[in-house]
Amino acid sequence: MFTVLVDLTIHPEHMDEFITGIRANARASLRDEAGCLRFDVHRRRDEPFRFFLHEVYLDEHAFYTEHRAAPHYAAWQRVAQRCVVPGTHHNTFGEPVLMRTDQAATDPATTRQLTD
């Protein structure tokens, strides 16, 4: 598996557009990409314009080739160009050592914000 952790800050005036765009990207990634296993979006409590994305893919090919070639990713890139503060988008790449997925898959409360 291949993990992507994304840290970014949003222009306050583009918050609604960002949230709409990242929700659409996350949903489409999970729905349309067999290699996208998880796509979580988190907002910091102490910095409400700062977000963290936790994405898990089957392998690097699923991320670099399939995800980045998807039409919804191109749409997301256009949103990100308008919404993300320049210089604040940082990706960290890794691989899972331990992941708990049973609760996330069965507890509606864990996906409430994405599905509202």
DSSP 8-state secondary structure symbol assigned to residue 65: I
Going by pLDDT thresholds of 50, 70 and 90, the confidence category of residue 96 is confident
Q: Quote the CA–CA distance of 2 and 48 in Å, as a whole number.
A: 28
On the CB side of 23, how many CA atoms lie within 13 Å of its CA? 13
3-class SS of residue 30: helix
pTM as predicted: 0.82
According to DSSP, the β-strands at 2-9 and 50-57 are antiparallel
Domains in the chain with CATH codes = 2-115 (3.30.70.100)
Q: pLDDT confidence of 116, banded at 50, 70, 90?
A: very low
pLDDT tens per residue, range 16-74: 999 999 999 999 999 999 999 999 999 999 999 999 999 999 999 999 999 999 999 99
Q: Calculate the dihedral angle through the C-alpha atoms of 17, 21, 22, 23, rounding to the nearest 10 degrees.
A: 110
CA distance 62 to 95: 13
